[in-house]
Structure 1
Amino acid sequence: MNVVRLPATEASRESSPQSALGECVTRTVRRYLADIGDTVCDEGLHALVIREVEIPLLREVLAFHDGNQSRAAAALGINRATLRKKLTQYGLI
């Protein structure tokens, strides 16, 4: 496995300002990585983060639009059929 580790000072330095959401993701991923250390995430870190972010994202956007899937899909920038597929995939409908 090829692993590249940045020095702590370089890893914590930000090249440009992040949004509040970006900062939240950065802090959470850093904490998660510190917690698991060198343990390999079986499903892959990318898949884990996408799943953990996508489920509440879909749930909250759908709730904000009072369950209207067409409006929620438009807000998310995805097709309504794609939204339904994801909702079904995650057991949200």
Structure 2
Amino acid sequence: MSAETLANDNRLPNAGDDIHQLQTVNSTGNAVTLRDSVEVALKNYFAQLDGAPVTDVYQLVLSEVEAPLLEQVMKYTRNNQTKASTMLGLNRGTLRKKLKQYGLL
């Protein structure tokens, strides 16, 4: 994909945009933000609990978001850990630890 195509792709954030502004188009043609998707998933999750005790919701959500994030960034950077760590704003050692944690290394 050329730089011009990327610049004109409104699904991708500009530098400085918040992650919650990442959008995709759902099957009905409506734009859905990552934030909206997480909110809907959590509402559905809590609705199904029916009062059952819950622990580790933070880790549950983090692992559901972090694993595909790491996978896609590694694909985008062609498995270049230095580029990926810079892109993610992580120390390269931290990136390696997370890649191992999710079985991506």
TM-score normalised according to structure 1 size:
0.72
Output one character per residue of 1:27-83: Cα deviation in whole Å (capped at 9) or x when no partner. Answer: 1111111122322234x1111111111111111111111111111111111011100
Q: Which has the higher strand share?
A: 2
TM-score normalised according to structure 2 size:
0.65
In structure 2, the residue matched to 1:13 is none
In 2: Cα distance, 1:57 partner to 1:37 partner? 30
Structure 1 stretches of 4+ with a deviation exceeding 4 A read none
Q: Which has the higher helix share?
A: 1
**Residues matched between the structures, number:** 75
Greater length-normalized contact order (CA 8 Å, ≥ 6 residues apart): 1
Residue segments in structure 2 that go unaligned for 5+ positions in a row:
1-19, 22-32
Letter matched to residue 74 of structure 1:
T
Residue segments in structure 1 that go unaligned for 5+ positions in a row:
1-17
